[in-house]
Amino acid sequence: MRVLLVEDDLALGGAVHDHVAAQGHAVDWVTRLDAASDARLTVDYDLILLDLGLPDGRGLDFLRRMRKAGDTTPVIIMTAMDQLSIRIEGLNAGADDYLVKPFDLSELLARLGAVARRYGGNPNPMLAIGPLEIDRGRRQAKVEGHVLDLTAREWAVLERLALHPGILVSKAQLEDALFAFGAEIESNAVEVYVSRLRKKLIADLIHTVRGLGYRLGES
């Protein structure tokens, strides 16, 4: 997933960034709302992690502007404000989930995954494509019962393809899911990860549409 992290606490922001990125997600981290607005004009994000108290304004006002403009990107609020009234205000403003600081990073990942599945139209973490079985909750893939040993980025590529079985996914879409702003991207990075996946999947499930992208599914 491509995730926008809006958090001005450098210690917490760094920890969240590193933990989410280590799972294979591309994370763009900003510390101000104006930077968040600029980032959203450039990238279509899969999810936003939003603090409420930023140096240049309130996260809730930012969220309300998003929803008023018709932006349905899922948003998880992260804040130290634990009053019930604030939680209700956040959910009523259009937030999809709410985490009170301090929180466990593993819980954040679980909530992130759950929200993403709901917006993907399939809250069930289990996917099946031919002999391939995917458990998005456990981040595990099996072929005919055999658990695949995947790196974080190999998993990210496989998950993005699996969310659109039989549908073409472009190289650019895969790059957006893998790399944050400023990351050095080798011209053949996607091809490398796809090649590694093909060897691990054994079955001929990833098909190349030359010059356009890739499609996951049986021939």
Contact 3, 49 (CB under 8 A): yes
pLDDT at 175: 86
Split at pLDDT 50, 70, 90, the class of 142 is very high
Please, what are the domains in the chain? 2-119 (3.40.50.2300), 126-216 (1.10.10.10)
The mean-pLDDT minimum among 10-19, 88-97, 198-207 falls in 198-207
196: helix, strand or coil? helix
Region 154-171: mean pLDDT is 89
Region 175-184: mean pLDDT is 77
Q: What is the pTM of this model?
A: 0.73
- Percent of the chain clearing pLDDT 70 (strictly above): 95
pLDDT at 141: 92
Split at pLDDT 50, 70, 90, the class of 182 is low
147: helix, strand or coil? strand
Does the structure show a pLDDT above 80 at 122?
A: no
Split at pLDDT 50, 70, 90, the class of 1 is confident
Distances 178 to 1, 48, 103, 119 between C-alpha atoms, Å? 7, 16, 25, 19
Cβ-based neighbour number of residue 150 at 10 Å: 21
Higher per-residue pLDDT: 188 or 59:
59
Region 31-53: mean pLDDT is 94
CA–CA dist 99, 172 (Å, integer)? 32
Q: What is the pLDDT of residues 46-96, one digit of tens each?
A: 899 999 999 999 999 999 999 999 998 999 999 888 888 888 999 999 999
Side-chain half-sphere CA neighbours of 203 within 13 A: 17
